[in-house]
Amino acid sequence: MPYKERLAACRSFHTGTDVLRDAGGPVTRFALAPRWLMPPLVVVTSPQGMRDVIACRDSSIDKTSGVTLEMRRLIGPNLFVVPWEEWKPRRRTLQPVFTKQSVNAFGGHIAAATASVCGAWRDGSEVDLDVEARKLTMRALGHSVLGLEPTSEHDSLAEPMRAAVSYAVSRAISPVRAPHWVPTPGRRRARRAAAVLRAAALDIVRACRADPNRSAPLVQQLIAAKDPDTGKPLADNEIADELIIFIFAGHDTTATSISYALWQLGRNRDIQDRVATEVAQLGDGELTPGDVPRLGYTVQVLKEAMRLCPPGATGSRTTTRDVEVGGYRIPAGTMLVVGRMSVHRDPTLWSEPLRFDPDRFTEEASKGRDRWQYVPFGGGPRNCVGEHFAMLEATLALATIIRLAEIDSLGEDFPMAAPFTLVAGGPIPARIKLR
């Protein structure tokens, strides 16, 4: 491939891995610069290759790629970016906080937050599904997890987070970049954004330290968390590190999954009617985490939405010694890029892969499917620790919305952009009919 095409594919996190796979196969090596400037890259777009990379249980394939290093410099050493040896004690400490039982305890305000957003809708009005989904996820996250009111300043945290992460990713994939000590305009903006995030996170932690009865379930659990092996608790800075990435993951990624699912429901009235019928069978009371087991078809809708629009279209690792991936020897010092979205849409793995069909995820249809063919939350030891919360939030939000309103999508396409995670690349217009 010509250099410009390789560079463009590398910078397009959602479609670029398809281009590279089609040019070179499911394990594709390419370079953007001499090794002394930038490591060679290998793009992995097969279930076997995905397994070899993300199921690794030691430091031979580690989170030391340029993306994670740049993110760590800006927003701190959180669970998402730290390498294996630092990750192990942090994950031991945090895992009990994110079990299904614990998540249910701080997931009680999701339906109420969603209803408050829908309450502003008018019959026959037009809304932007992406804007509305972001609004409701931030309200749910702030109220039920962080103990903040919907009108407080945390509403403004999404933009600084996106600015910081976008800068880190852009710098990581640039073959030539200025040294870290050079105060470029982009770096100054990113550092200002990161400072806003850290100050807000530390304010929340300190407020909870000062008032143990403050209603902020996630923060209080993080304060109480201890490493089961050493008994060591998290320091305030460490809690703030985790809150920053949780705000990003709990807001940006979940909002995109909800808006994409709503857009598809607005184009497929038969599927929307099935969701509405399922929710109606639960009665008129506010939906709670206890209702999720009876929302099986709604969950299937979300799974199909995350197949076609996975929160993390790609992920990256670095080999610290020679390893085997997809049947190939990958030398130490190589950056591995896993193409989740490419696997999720691969026509050799899925029948009519671009068709929205929640019945792909019935129990019967899922039998015999390769475990690594569908990985919206990753897999292996470093799978997303917030998976239970994300699914709980999205399920209750989607069910609450469809209970309250009919959605009629006005656009034929769902534009996508991937500054890091997958987001809507423009407005997602829909007309609302209140039930």
pLDDT in tens, 252-308: 889 999 999 999 999 999 999 999 999 999 998 899 999 999 999 999 999 999 999
Mean pLDDT for 108-125 is: 88
CA distances from 116 to 108, 121, 169, 183, 191 (A): 14, 10, 35, 43, 34
Residue-wise pLDDT tens digits, 314-363: 999 999 999 999 999 999 999 999 999 999 999 999 999 999 999 999 99
The most confident of 50-54, 108-112, 192-196, by mean pLDDT: 50-54
In this structure, the dihedral spanned by the alpha carbons of residues 277, 283, 286 and 290, taken in order and rounded to 10 degrees, is -80
Q: Which residues of 74-86 are buried (b: 16+ CB within 10 A; e: fewer)?
A: bbbbbbbbbbbee
State the distance between the two ends of the chain, measured CA to CA, in whole angstroms.
53
Q: Give percent of the chain with pLDDT exceeding 70.
A: 96
**Residue bearing tokens 């037009």:** 126
Q: Give percent of the chain with pLDDT exceeding 90.
A: 62
In the structure encoding, which two tokens stand for residue 367, read together? Answer: 């039998």
398 CB neighbour count, 10 Å cutoff: 25
156 CB neighbour count, 10 Å cutoff: 11
**Residue bearing tokens 């705000």:** 247
Least trusted range by pLDDT, from 37-41, 175-179, 414-418: 175-179
Q: Distance (Å, rounded) from C-alpha 415 to C-alpha 65? A: 28
In the structure encoding, which two tokens stand for residue 313, read together? Answer: 């279209």
Instruction: Reply yes or no on whether the pLDDT at 175 is more than 90.
Output: no
Q: Distance (Å, rounded) from C-alpha 171 to C-alpha 69? A: 10
φ, ψ of residue 416 in degrees (nearest 5) = -120, 145
For all residues of the chain together, what is the average pLDDT?
A: 90
The model's pTM is: 0.93
DSSP assignment of 256-287: HHHHHHHHHHHH-HHHHHHHHHHHHTT-SSPP
Instruction: Reply yes or no on whether the pLDDT at 432 is more than 90.
Output: yes
Q: Distance (Å, rounded) from C-alpha 239 to C-alpha 251? A: 18
DSSP assignment of 50-106: HHHHHT--STTEES-SHHHHHHHHHH---TTTS-HHHHHHHHHHHGGGGSHHHHHHT
Instruction: Reply yes or no on whether the pLDDT at 173 is more than 80.
Output: no
Q: Distance (Å, rounded) from C-alpha 342 to C-alpha 362? A: 22
Quote the pLDDT of residue 153. 45
Mean pLDDT for 86-92 is: 95
Quote the pLDDT of residue 154. 47
Least trusted range by pLDDT, from 67-71, 139-143, 149-153: 149-153
Beta-carbon contacts of 269 under 8 Å, excluding residues fewer than 6 positions away, are none
Instruction: Reply yes or no on whether the pLDDT at 155 is more than 80.
Output: no
pLDDT band for position 156 (cuts 50, 70, 90): low
Quote the pLDDT of residue 342. 96
Q: Distance (Å, rounded) from C-alpha 18 to C-alpha 16? A: 5
Is the pLDDT higher at 150 or at 157? 157
Q: Distance (Å, rounded) from C-alpha 202 to C-alpha 198? A: 6
Instruction: Reply yes or no on whether the pLDDT at 248 is more than 80.
Output: no
Instruction: Reply yes or no on whether the pLDDT at 150 is more than 70.
Output: no
Mean pLDDT for 234-257 is: 88
E-strand spans in 119-232? 126-128
Element (H, E) at 28: strand 27-30
Q: Distance (Å, rounded) from C-alpha 202 to C-alpha 188? A: 21
DSSP assignment of 281-328: TT-SSPP-GGGGGG-HHHHHHHHHHHHHS-S-SEEEEEESS-EEETTE
Q: Distance (Å, rounded) from C-alpha 51 to C-alpha 378? A: 10
* Domains with residue ranges and CATH for the chain: 1-62+313-375 (3.30.43.20), 63-312+376-434 (1.10.630.10)
> Are the beta carbons of 339 and 314 closer than 8 angstroms?
yes
Is the pLDDT higher at 215 or at 2? 2
Q: Would the CA dihedral through 87, 384, 308, 68 be positive or negative?
A: negative
Mean pLDDT for 163-179 is: 79
> Are the beta carbons of 215 and 188 closer than 8 angstroms?
no
**Residue bearing tokens 């769902």:** 414
Quote the pLDDT of residue 152. 43
DSSP state of 35: T
Q: Distance (Å, rounded) from C-alpha 420 to C-alpha 91? A: 23
Instruction: Reply yes or no on whether the pLDDT at 143 is more than 80.
Output: no
Element (H, E) at 412: none
